[in-house]
Amino acid sequence: QICLSLVKLLFYLAHSPLGSIVLLDFQPRQFVMVDGNLKVTDIDDASTEELSCREDNDCTLDFPTKSFPLKCSTVGKCEGINEKKNLFNAYRYFFTYLLPHSAPPALQPFLSDILNATGDLRYGINETLKAFEKVLHLYKSGLYLQKRPLHLKDYISLKGFRMVEGEDYKCWPSYSHLGCLLSVHSAEEAAAICNSQSQCQSFIVTQRRTWTGRPLASFQSSPTDLIPDANAVVYIKRSASSGERL
């Protein structure tokens, strides 16, 4: 969410009515999340000036660990230097820390491609935004799940019950510090996640939603603490269920 919002902001800066705008003091402390959108807190260091040049050799974009040769345009300006400077700073201050491990395994190769392409400045802001939106579409639609085997058959469902919320085993990246609360596309994906965790014996797909509209599923190591809830369904591993527990 943070990286996509940042890319949308940089897309606007690259195509603003004032021309391409560069953030000269590009640091994480210069940004804040407001209602799910990243905002710049200080625009004193924003500039529309692009580096003047006479030849391509005048257009090297230097960073502490990398340098990129750019072209000198016919009007004597280094082509795309403001856009590329913003994008590489987004890569080194945000993407490198937030993109790895921040998506289901099937989508991680797409994020790795974005990371590598922006790190080498092979992508401009237009291509980067398009790539992020593709990943978001796959994530929200669940298309990345199409080739997975069916796991829900390994579970029995108890309609009209939910689990008592409390401290349980932890997982990453959980939305709750008390237990394992993860975003899922469906009960089928939740079953696959539960199968992959040795502690998990049951789960419930809650009514809570993330910023993408995906529900949160709560995973637990014990299916015994159940309370009535007409709108809920508890899924319990068949291997964990017994007549006494049910």
Residues catalogued as catalytic: 25
DSSP 15: T
- Distance CA(2)–CA(63), nearest Å, equals 23
Q: Where are the alpha helices (DSSP H) in the chain?
A: 2-14, 81-90, 96-98, 108-119, 125-141, 187-196
DSSP 71: P
Residue 161 near residue 224, CB atoms below 8 Å: no
CA–CA–CA angle 30, 32, 34 (5° rounding): 150
Task: Tokens 């257009």: give the residue.
Answer: 59
136 Cβ contact list (under 8 Å, min separation 6): 4, 212
Q: Concatenate the DSSP letters of all residues of 157-203 into one string.
A: EEEEEEEPP------TT-S-SSSEEEE-SSHHHHHHHHHH-TT--EE
Task: Tokens 């391509």: give the residue.
Answer: 56
DSSP 143: G
For residue 107, give the nearest of 76, 138, 128, 85 by alpha carbon: 138
